């Protein structure tokens, strides 16, 4: 059985974070494991509060998994604090798993900060260079590059700038721009446009978590980066098409459509 580990935050509402990651792993037929970095009190409407997990407990969780179980891919989500970024980077350097998918989670759709402002430079200096692929959305890419992104050329420039931070490849997601949600994959040499389809629904909570986890799961199964992205893009599109109208805010995607 292939395995994937998510290092991320918990969403009590079950739509994003660890809960979305584990469902995406299961849907892709991979055995899922989790290291919880923060607990959020959250539903489809809002993040009410966040408790960062003590770094020593994060360290113990990472070591407990890696010391015993083969990890075929790691997905990294909410890291919350600079201490957590540095710790996770140090441990990943030590265990050096083959596939690391970094979703540079910064702000929730409702505007709640999931990465402290003073953790952004640690993320850029210590974490990005360890990743096989980083999967920013447009606002995250704007923070990482310090430049606004409007045109297709801006998107290519952003991929090149992010790749120059030391990551092997970049998937710049286009869902936050108007028009079709086409993503741009840059493998360090070539650009590939990954076509999307705009599905008009308010129930899109956890889409970024789900996509990055599906990519990690498919890398764990031995797919190439491009194959893993193509399979995962189709998966998230169908999961959004069948998204669940739960709660009164942004409902979750449906992992098992």
Catalytic residues: 173, 204, 206-209
Token representation of residue 89: 């980077």
3-state secondary structure the chain: CCEEEEEEEEECCCCCHHHHHHHHHHHCCCEEEEEEEEEEEECCCCEEEEEECCHHHHHHHHHHHHCCCCCCEEEECCCECHHHHHHHHHHHHHHCCCCEEECCCCECCCCCECECHHHHHHHHHHHHHHCCEECCCHHHHHHHHCCCCCCHHHHHHHHHHHHCCCCCEEEECCCCCCCCCCEEEECCCCEEEECCCCCCCCCCECHHHHHHHHHHHHHHCCCCHHHHHHHHHHHHHHHHHCCCCCCCCCCECCCCC
CB of 212 to ligand PLP, least distance (A): 8
Residue with Cβ nearer ligand PLP (109 or 125): 109
- Say whether residue 208 binds ligand PLP (CB under 6 A): yes
Per CB under 6 A, contacts with ligand PLP among 10-29 are 11, 16-17
Residue with Cβ nearer ligand PLP (108 or 254): 108
Residue with Cβ nearer ligand PLP (109 or 192): 109
Among 104, 181, 196, 206, indicate the residue that binds ligand PLP (CB under 6 A).
Answer: 206
Place of tokens 């990690």: 216
Residue with Cβ nearer ligand PLP (114 or 170): 114
Among 77, 104, 174, 175, indicate the residue that binds ligand PLP (CB under 6 A).
Answer: 77
CB of 251 to ligand PLP, least distance (A): 11
Binding-site residue total for ligand PLP (CB under 6 A)? 18
Which segment (155-163, 186-194, 203-211, 225-233) binds ligand PLP by CB under 6 A?
A: 203-211
CB atoms within 10 A of CB 164: 10
CB of 190 to ligand PLP, least distance (A): 28
Among 28, 40, 213, 218, indicate the residue that binds ligand PLP (CB under 6 A).
Answer: 40
Which segment (56-64, 158-166, 204-212, 238-246) binds ligand PLP by CB under 6 A?
A: 204-212
Alpha carbon distance 207, 236 (integer Å): 7
Residue with Cβ nearer ligand PLP (44 or 163): 44
Per CB under 6 A, contacts with ligand PLP among 96-155 are 105, 108-109, 114
**Strands of 47-52's sheet in order across:** 47-52, 31-42, 3-11, 73-76, 100-102, 133-134, 169-172, 183-186, 191-194
CB of 121 to ligand PLP, least distance (A): 20
Which segment (4-12, 147-155, 188-196, 233-241) binds ligand PLP by CB under 6 A?
A: 4-12
Residues in contact with ligand PLP by CB under 6 A are 8-9, 11, 16-17, 40, 42, 77-78, 105, 108-109, 114, 205-209
């Amino acid at each position: 059985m292939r395995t994937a580990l998510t290092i991320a935050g918990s969403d009590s509402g079950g739509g994003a974070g660890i809960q979305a990651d584990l469902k995406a792993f299961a849907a892709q037929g991979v055995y899922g494991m989790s290291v919880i970095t923060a607990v959020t009190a959250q539903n489809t409407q809002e993040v009410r509060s966040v408790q960062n997990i003590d770094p020593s407990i994060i360290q113990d969780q990472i070591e407990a998994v890696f010391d015993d179980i083969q990890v075929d891919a790691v997905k990294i989500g909410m890291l919350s604090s600079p201490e957590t970024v540095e710790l996770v980077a140090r441990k990943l350097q030590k265990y050096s798993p083959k596939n690391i998918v970094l979703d540079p989670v910064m702000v929730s759709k409702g505007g709640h900060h999931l990465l402290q402002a003073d953790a952004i430079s640690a993320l850029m200096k210590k974490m990005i260079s360890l990743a096989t692929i980083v999967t920013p959305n447009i606002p995250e890419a704007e923070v990482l590059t310090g430049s606004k992104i409007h045109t297709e050329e801006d998107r290519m420039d952003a991929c090149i700038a992010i790749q120059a931070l030391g990551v092997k490849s970049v998937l710049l997601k286009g869902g936050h721009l108007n028009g079709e949600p086409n993503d741009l994959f840059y493998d360090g040499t070539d650009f590939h446009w990954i076509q999307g389809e705009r599905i008009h629904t308010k129930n899109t909570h956890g889409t970024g978590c789900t996509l990055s986890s599906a990519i990690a799961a498919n890398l764990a199964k031995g797919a190439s980066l491009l194959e893993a992205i193509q399979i995962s893009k189709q998966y998230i599109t169908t999961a959004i098409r069948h998204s669940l109208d739960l709660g009164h805010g942004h409902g979750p995607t449906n992992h098992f459509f």
